[in-house]
Amino acid sequence: MSLEYSCPLCSNLLIKTANMLRCENNHSFDFAKEGYVNLLPVQQKNSKQPGDSLEMVQARRAFLERNYYAFLQHELGQIISNIAANNIIDLGCGEGFYTQALASNTQATVYGVDISKAAVKYAAKRYSNCHFSVASISQAPFKSYFADVLVSVFAPLFTQELARLAKPGSTLVVASPGPQHLKELKEYIYSSVNEHTQIEVPAMFTQTSQTLITEQVTLNFSDVKNLIMMTPFAWKFRPEHWLALEEKGEHNVTLSFYITQFTRDKSIAVAHI
């Protein structure tokens, strides 16, 4: 199975030779022993180790292994199984929990991209049915109009890049927090908890469907701690919040997700990168 990455420095096609990728301008990128390739140039880094830290990745892996999010993983896999595709990109793939489910439900080549080296290292070491790279999803290492399906699970949406990557007529699948997602935990840190709203329709896409899936789960303190460490609001939890969570022991928590599908417009009026 050939890989179709583009050079992050000059945008030319990268060719696999031995254990590296090289373009015609002689830019080369080695595969790590775990099987992933680092396609993040230093000029695209906003810190020494961008993206999720090792601590966040380990917390997410520990929580996801408990299968509380399996219903979301299953729903995404079912959606992908009904789409004819050659190339699928999971943008912001993290440690590959959803990426490998996509690959298990399709004959397409599945790529997982994340800016966190720690996350991609975990993903590549565990899942051999996908191709993982360290890269920025705002400047993904693929040619324009490459993807038959783009998938984004709780990742930022860079609308111009989505339109560039997606073939005209292709599918974008976005998983985002539902209205009541984790409301019981947010009540510890917010005096008033605002509901999550639906995502906006990205430019050059048309919304075709939306599903809201919800489950109530009972979590012990260890699971709650790992779940919070996965979230953008983890830094808001102070010692007294953690103590209150631990003293309560078990917690009833709402898990709620929107799964929204979009179709890429037929127009190709997007600047090539």
What's the order of all strands across the beta sheet hosting 147-153?
37-38, 131-134, 109-114, 87-91, 147-153, 166-177, 251-264, 205-219
Does 246 belong to an annotated binding site?
A: no
Q: What angle do CA 254, 258, 264 make, to 5 degrees?
A: 165
Domain of 136? 15-264
Does 74 belong to an annotated binding site?
A: no
Does 23 belong to an annotated binding site?
A: yes
Q: Is the pLDDT of residue 201 over 90?
A: yes
Q: Is 35 helix (H, G, I), strand (E, B) or coil?
A: coil
- Within a domain: 6: no
Does 95 belong to an annotated binding site?
A: yes
201: CATH: 3.40.50.150
Does 93 belong to an annotated binding site?
A: no
Number of domains making up the chain: 1
Q: Is the pLDDT of residue 272 over 50?
A: no
- Give the tens place of pLDDT for each residue, 11-22: 999 999 889 999
In one-letter notation, the amino acid at residue 77 is: G
Q: Is the pLDDT of residue 271 over 50?
A: no
Does 69 belong to an annotated binding site?
A: yes
- Give the tens place of pLDDT for each residue, 32-70: 999 999 999 876 666 666 678 889 999 999 999 999 999
- Within a domain: 97: yes
- Within a domain: 100: yes
Does 241 belong to an annotated binding site?
A: no
Label the pairing between strands 147-153 and 87-91: parallel
**What pLDDT score does 41 carry?**
84
- Within a domain: 71: yes
pTM: 0.94
In one-letter notation, the amino acid at residue 159 is: T
- Within a domain: 23: yes
Q: How far apart are CA 37 and CA 30, in angstroms?
A: 6
Handedness of CA 95, 199, 102, 17 (dihedral sign): negative
Lowest mean pLDDT among 77-81, 106-110, 187-191, 209-213: 187-191
Does 94 belong to an annotated binding site?
A: no
Radius of gyration of the chain (CA): 19
* Cβ neighbours, 10 Å, residue 50: 16
Closest CA to 234 of 244, 224, 246, 243: 224
